[in-house]
Amino acid sequence: MKRLFFYISLLLFLTGCQAKYGHPLDEDFRRLDDTLEDIDEYVLAKESRISAIEETLQDKELTLQQKYGIYGRLYEEYTPYQFDKARDMLLMQESIADSLSDQVLKTTASLNKAFLYTTAGMFLEASKAFETLDTLSFDYHQKIIWYNAAQRFLTDYQEYMQGSGVAVPGAEKIQSYRNLILENTPEDSYLHRHMAILRLIRDNKWDEAYRDNAQLIESLNNKSRDYAVQTYWQGFICYNTDREDEMLKWWIESAICDLQGAIKDNAALCSIAVNLDLPQETERAFRYIRISLDDAVFYNAKLRKVQIASTMPLIEKAYIDAKEQQAKERSHYLFITMVIAFFLLLVAMVALNLHYTGKSKARTIETKNAQLAQSNASIAEAQETLRKTNLELVEANAAKEEYLGLYLSMCSGYLDKLKKTLPRDQYEAELKNFYKTFDTSFLQLYPSFVEDFNALLQEDCRVALKEGELLNTELRIFALIKLGITQSSHIASLLRYSVNTIYNYRAQVKNSALSDRENFEEAVKKIGSKC
């Protein structure tokens, strides 16, 4: 009998326990996830810094040269943040240069525009910008910008046209520009050292590239854009030398630096997602690739959106498969556990009955009571297992919300493109239809959302919809939060408001909360939950 209990206990242990394997980079991923949680703060700091610079333009005593310099500062802020705004700043610089008839200032702005178009993957526009430049009139600094822009253009264009069958200038042309940079810049300058590392990578001198790049990283501010770039390259070097864990470690470092600087034109987070072990890290990969897409759409980088779009189907499929498999496994484990529990109870009852045969009637009653209590405890345990399984199934259903959020991002990107081609009245009609479609779809999922939302607010602060309205701005903001879209920058992009406006709306509503304002948004996320 003791042996039988041993085998049953062993079977229960093997069935109910799931092995948990720690990742050697758990602490690094925790740092990255913590940074992602605080992304709204970094974006707000970025927007505040930009607003402060823009306010200086209100000074009516500014000279055109001073305005040129301010637009240059704004260009530097916008370059890794929002492509369209960065381009506008350069156009303002070109206009000022024309007014001053200053060819040097005009050339510098045009050079920066060619470089900006290149980094955004707008190669036709970049090519046209290059054609307008008079290279013979360049000063020393303009030559360096030109060499760097030209090598970057050819490098990115080669990657973009790979497999298309279209002939583009080869590696020799690219290296000729890099050599010119090496010949004309100080050996201790960042650009010189960066180009030297790229040359080592080209020559497959991976160990030397790893060593020199590590030294360069040590010399950089860990909050700077250059630091994010070089840590990304260190991950790339590790990728090509089979150092998988170290590869991810450097890319995590790069991603954290980009996030803290509110850098939307980034590559590290996407690279992490693509190189995670999908069967084990599917949820993390899906979350990272979705954030990468949000950033690419916000920045409006053509090349980056193409790169991310090519990787998403694989990760999406893995995510869906994982959720379905989890639900199946939980149901399977529940069934087996309940069968074994029932069998165990049956055997226990038989064993106890045999053991206590011949005892007094009173002792028999006590034994039966003990058996009943044991049965009740086992039933309670099975019920708890069932409850946990239901939670997992609810989690699987939440995938629908995530995909609705992703669909909205795609639609928003499409509307941005329409804005450039449609007349204003037609675009406004399309935008109005987009909001109506969203309102209808959301309320089909959560028909009592408005009533449940108002129940969380003080009575005099509850939302009153106008005739014909399904949702208003406040409700749409919190509907997106319900769907898991919590970044103010993403919400602002979808609803066509500034980040500051979204932040103010969120703060105003939370101040009207009936109870705990700090947990108000978590309460909104639970609306419609069945668990």
Query: How big is the CA angle at 308 (ends 306 and 312), to the nearest 5 degrees?
Result: 120
Helix then strand count (H, E) for the chain reads 24, 0
User: What is the structure's pLDDT at 487?
Assistant: 84
Cβ contacts of 18 within 8 Å, gap of 6 or more? none
Helix (H, G, I), strand (E, B) or coil at 513: strand
Residues 192 and 212: their CA atoms lie apart, in Å, by 12
pLDDT at 423 over 90: no
User: What is the structure's pLDDT at 151?
Assistant: 92
Helices (H), 356-398: 361-397
Of 258, 283, 317, 302, which is closest to residue 484 (Cα–Cα)?
A: 283
Which of the pair, 76 or 503, is modelled with greater confidence? 76
pLDDT tens per residue across span 237-251:
999 998 888 999 999
pTM flag (> 0.85): no
pLDDT band at 413 (very low <50, low <70, confident <90, very high): low
pLDDT band at 223 (very low <50, low <70, confident <90, very high): very high
Residues 52 and 160: their CA atoms lie apart, in Å, by 37
User: What is the structure's pLDDT at 25?
Assistant: 86
Residues 273 and 310: their CA atoms lie apart, in Å, by 13
What's the rounded mean pLDDT across residues 407-412? 59
Cβ(326)–Cβ(393) below 8 Å: no
Of 397, 515, 512, 510, which is closest to residue 446 (Cα–Cα)?
A: 397
Residue 188: how many other CB atoms lie within 10 Å: 8
pLDDT tens per residue across span 302-351:
666 666 655 555 454 544 554 444 444 444 444 444 444 544 455 555 55
Residues 354 and 275: their CA atoms lie apart, in Å, by 60
Which of the pair, 400 or 128, is modelled with greater confidence? 128
Helices (H), 171-277: 171-184, 190-202, 206-218, 225-239, 244-260, 268-275
Residues 198 and 187: their CA atoms lie apart, in Å, by 14
Cβ contacts of 149 within 8 Å, gap of 6 or more? 111, 114, 115, 118, 130
What's the rounded mean pLDDT across residues 290-303? 81
> What dotted CATH number matches 62-184?
1.25.40.10
Residues 147 and 111: their CA atoms lie apart, in Å, by 10
Query: What is the share, in percent, of the chain residues with pLDDT greater than 90?
Result: 40
Cβ(376)–Cβ(368) below 8 Å: no
Domain ranges of the chain: 62-184, 277-397, 398-531
